[in-house]
């Protein structure tokens, strides 16, 4: 059952080496290039530096925890002791809640997935799946057990100082071991749920998720109801009573039994089931992008996940430009993971711009005499919205996602008998409709609070900003031609903020929506010249 253990150790050693190189890359070091003495000394220096920082941080946190448990009077000491017992009981209930959460996640998405190169290489070697299961599970269990044990030690130190005035290793270690072993058992139990999910067909995985979610809710409720009993167990553990030794031994036995239960369950799996959901494992080679370009890395992960989904809907039998519109609607249906971004653009970014760019802070600044009066309030509002929009620049790009996909595929774009402005209008119409509906829903409370007229003005301004955000996101499709002025998405957002704020300051308050539509016209002209 555990044949091929040495082969799996060799593979995990290569993975560990790649993992270390990933983190050492930020420090300018590499295990593969450390051949001379100076580079090896530098590696030892990094190890000593990181170890010293960890020890110093641990002692600092431990000092803060024990200092927080120190009380000056008897009344405060009694309150601190009661709070400490409540926290200790919650710490013992946390592994059960973690098991519930991890089990639901494992039922929805398997925690065990292999990349295609690993699977193809292991298919040529006599490695048993139970062995593979143990090698993948034990490091995850150990990492979570260490973190939970460290947190449990801090909780025990706080409770011991609150009860006895001092915290020793003999008082804190049993509680920490109990927390760590219970967390390891929770990890193994959720892993077993993930293996069960891999054995089921696609039609049975949704009912499994519902059953596991119901059991998880019941487990979380039971753990909350057992808080008084867990507080008494925590008190016995911290007091180091002889009967308290059963808790660490019991949780350790539960962790071992849960780990052993995964062996026969993994023996009936097929290697193909492990590579079916290996989307994140396939992105292992581009993980460095998560450090220097996290937005592109998240977009890449979403694209890989979308590529593995089953297609939803089908193209209707229509001709002409309606085909482009139908394809855009189906693309939005299939990429339903972009709906939160569309809703955020229509319900948050556009209404915020409608309020901040029209000078909502100007009256407050003028009344309080801050920031240079009304003019300073308008400048501050425009600057706040611009920084917010630039920081959330993926929202305008999500509005123009279908257009960007069509223009990036040169083979498809060259065979579309349609102009670029018309393609932009048809591709972006479904996304713009979703954002407009979100903006309209946000304006309902405005109508309730300030009247229908103010709500209509806000909706008109937000709708203009929705269209402007769409045009800003579409600018990523512009060609980089030497000597030609190219307006970026962030630059167009700056033009929008400045133009809207200036026009809103000049026009009367009743004509504030015209300022946003004029800014949209300016951005539209610039976008058409750029595209």
Q: Tens digit of pLDDT for each residue in 48-58?
A: 998 999 999 99
Is pLDDT of 322 > 70?
Answer: yes
Is pLDDT of 278 > 50?
Answer: no
Q: Tens digit of pLDDT for each residue in 337-365?
A: 888 899 999 999 999 888 888 876 666 66
What is the residue-averaged pLDDT of the chain? 81
More confident residue, 59 or 135: 59
CA dist 148 and 127 (Å) reads 32
Q: Tens digit of pLDDT for each residue in 296-320?
A: 777 777 777 776 667 666 777 777 7
Name the pLDDT band for 126 (thresholds 50, 70, 90): low
The arithmetic mean of pLDDT across residues 205-214, rounded, is 83
Q: Tens digit of pLDDT for each residue in 366-406?
A: 555 555 566 777 788 888 889 988 988 888 988 988 888 88
Neighbours of 254 (CB within 10 A): 18
Measured CA to CA in angstroms, residue 364 lies from 9, 34, 350, 384 at distances of 66, 61, 22, 15
CA dist 434 and 32 (Å) reads 50
Q: Which of 158-167, 310-319, 333-342, 512-521 has the lowest mean pLDDT?
A: 310-319
Is pLDDT of 165 > 90?
Answer: no
Q: Which two tokens stand for residue 480?
A: 């980089």
- SS3 of residue 114 by DSSP: coil
Give the pLDDT confidence score for residue 34 in this predicted structure.
Answer: 66
Q: Which of 102-116, 285-299, 341-355 has the lowest mean pLDDT?
A: 285-299
Give the pLDDT confidence score for residue 437 in this predicted structure.
Answer: 93
Is pLDDT of 25 > 80?
Answer: no
Range list of β-strands (E), 121-269: none
Q: Which two tokens stand for residue 297?
A: 């890395």
The top-scoring range by mean pLDDT among 47-56, 133-142, 506-515 is 47-56
- SS3 of residue 373 by DSSP: coil
Q: What is the pTM of this model?
A: 0.65
Give the pLDDT confidence score for residue 279 in this predicted structure.
Answer: 44
CA dist 397 and 230 (Å) reads 51
Give the pLDDT confidence score for residue 233 in this predicted structure.
Answer: 86
The arithmetic mean of pLDDT across residues 234-244, rounded, is 79
Name the pLDDT band for 284 (thresholds 50, 70, 90): low
Name the pLDDT band for 117 (thresholds 50, 70, 90): low
């Amino acid at each position: 059952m555990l044949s091929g253990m040495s082969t799996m150790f060799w593979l995990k050693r290569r993975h560990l080496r790649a993992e270390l190189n990933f983190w050492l890359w930020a420090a300018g070091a590499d295990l593969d290039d450390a051949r001379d003495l100076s580079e090896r000394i530098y590696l030892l220096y990094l190890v000593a530096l990181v170890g010293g920082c960890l020890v110093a941080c641990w002692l600092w946190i431990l000092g803060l925890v024990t200092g927080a448990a120190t009380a000056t009077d008897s009344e405060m000491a009694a309150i601190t002791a009661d709070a400490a017992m409540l926290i200790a009981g919650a710490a013992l209930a946390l592994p059960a809640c973690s098991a519930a959460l991890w089990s639901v996640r494992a039922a929805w998405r398997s925690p065990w997935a292999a990349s295609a190169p690993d699977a193809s290489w292991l298919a040529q070697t006599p490695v048993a799946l139970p062995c593979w299961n143990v090698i993948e599970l034990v490091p995850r269990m150990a990492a979570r057990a260490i973190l939970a044990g460290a947190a449990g030690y801090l909780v025990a130190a706080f409770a011991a100082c609150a009860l006895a005035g001092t915290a020793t290793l003999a008082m804190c270690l049993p509680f920490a071991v109990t927390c760590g072993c219970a967390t390891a058992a929770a990890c193994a139990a959720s892993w077993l749920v993930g293996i069960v999910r891999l054995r089921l067909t696609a039609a049975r995985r949704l009912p499994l998720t519902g059953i596991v979610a119901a059991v998880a809710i019941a487990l979380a409720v039971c753990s909350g109801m057992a808080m008084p009993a867990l507080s008494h167990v925590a008190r016995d553990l911290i007091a180091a009573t002889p009967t308290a030794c059963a808790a660490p031994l019991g949780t350790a036995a539960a962790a071992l039994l849960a780990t052993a239960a995964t062996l026969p369950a993994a023996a009936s799996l097929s290697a193909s089931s492990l590579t079916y959901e290996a989307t994140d494992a396939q992105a292992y080679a581009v993980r460095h992008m998560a450090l220097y370009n996290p937005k592109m890395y998240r977009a890449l992960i979403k694209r890989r996940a979308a590529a593995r989904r089953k297609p939803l809907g089908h193209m209707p039998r229509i001709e002409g430009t309606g085909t482009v519109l139908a394809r855009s609607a189906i693309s939005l249906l299939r990429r339903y993971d972009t709906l939160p971004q569309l809703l955020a653009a229509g319900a948050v970014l556009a209404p915020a711009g409608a309020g901040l760019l029209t000078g909502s802070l100007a009256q407050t600044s003028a009344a309080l005499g801050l920031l240079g009066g009304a003019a300073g309030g308008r400048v501050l509002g425009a600057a706040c919205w611009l920084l917010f929009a630039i920081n959330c620049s993926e929202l305008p790009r999500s509005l123009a996602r279908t257009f960007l996909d069509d223009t990036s595929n040169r083979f498809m774009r060259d065979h579309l008998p349609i102009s670029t402005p018309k393609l932009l209008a048809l591709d972006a119409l479904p996304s713009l409709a979703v954002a407009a509906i979100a903006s309209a829903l946000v304006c309902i409370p405005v109508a309730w609070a300030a009247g229908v007229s103010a709500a209509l003005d806000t909706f008109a301004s937000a709708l203009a900003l929705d269209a402007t955000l769409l045009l800003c996101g579409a600018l990523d499709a512009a060609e980089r031609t030497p000597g030609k002025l190219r307006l970026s998405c962030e630059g167009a957002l700056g033009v929008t903020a400045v133009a809207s704020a200036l026009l809103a300051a000049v026009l009367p308050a009743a004509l504030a929506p015209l300022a946003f539509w004029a800014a949209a016209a300016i951005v539209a002209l610039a976008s058409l010249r750029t595209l």
